[in-house]
Amino acid sequence: MFLTGMKAFSYELILPKEKRSVVNTNYALFVGKIRNSETVTINNEKIFPASNGAFTHSVKLKDGENRVIIRSNYNTQVYKFCKKTPVKSEPAEIKEFDRQRFIVKDDNTPLRSTPVDEGLNRVAHLFKGTALIINGEKGDFYRVFLSKDKTAWIAKKDVEIGCVSKPAEFINMGSKKFKNAVVQTISFSENLPYTVEDCENEILFKVYNPELSDSSVYTINIPKPEKYFYFVYLDDGTYTFKVSEVPRSINDCTIVIDAGHGGSEKGAVGCLGDKEKDVNLKIALELQKQLKSAGANVVMTRECDGNISLNDRVKIAKSNQAEIFVSIHLNSIGDTPFNLHKHKGTSVYYFNRNSKELAQILEKSVSKSAGTRRDGVKTASFAVIRPAEYVGVLIETAYMINPHDSVLYNSCDFAANTAKGITEGLLEFISK
Ligand SMILES: [Zn+2]
Q: In this predicted model, what pLDDT tens digit does every residue of 311-352 receive, in sequence order?
A: 999 999 999 999 999 999 999 999 999 999 999 999 999 999
3-class DSSP string for 86-142: CCCCCCCCCEEEEEEEEEECCCCEEEECCCCCCCCCEEEEECCCCEEEEEEEECCEE
Domains of the chain as residue ranges with CATH = 11-83 (2.60.40.10), 95-161 (2.30.30.40), 170-245 (2.60.40.790), 250-431 (3.40.630.40)
| 249/320 Cα distance (integer angstroms) | 18
Q: Does 309 score more than 70 pLDDT?
A: yes
pLDDT in tens, 156-176: 999 999 987 889 999 999 999
Element (H, E) at 276: helix 276-294
Compute, in angstroms, the gap from residue 328 CA to the centroid of ligand 1.
8
- Does pLDDT of 432 surpass 90? no
Distance 267 CA to ligand 1 centre (A): 5
* Distance of CA 97 from the midpoint of ligand 1 (Å): 43
Instruction: Give residue 329 CA to ligand 1 midpoint distance, Å.
Output: 4
35-44, 381-390, 404-413: least confident range: 35-44
Q: What is the rounded average pLDDT of the residues 47-75?
A: 93
Which residues are placed with Cβ below 5 angstroms of ligand 1, an ion?
Answer: 260, 267, 329
List, for residues 214-234, the tens digit of each pLDDT value. 999 999 999 999 999 999 999
What is the band of 15 on the pLDDT scale with cuts at 50, 70, 90?
A: very high
From 185, 135, 192, 151, select the one nearest 169 (Cα to Cα).
192
Helices (H), 17-100: none
| Per-residue pLDDT at 427 exceeds 50 | yes
Q: How far is the CA of 298 from the centre of ligand 1 (A)?
A: 21
| 257 alpha carbon – ligand 1 mean position (Å) | 14
Give the Å distance between the CA of 395 and the centre of ligand 1. 9
Q: Cα separation of 290 and 263, whole Å? A: 25
Question: Cα(281) to centroid of ligand 1, in Å?
Answer: 11
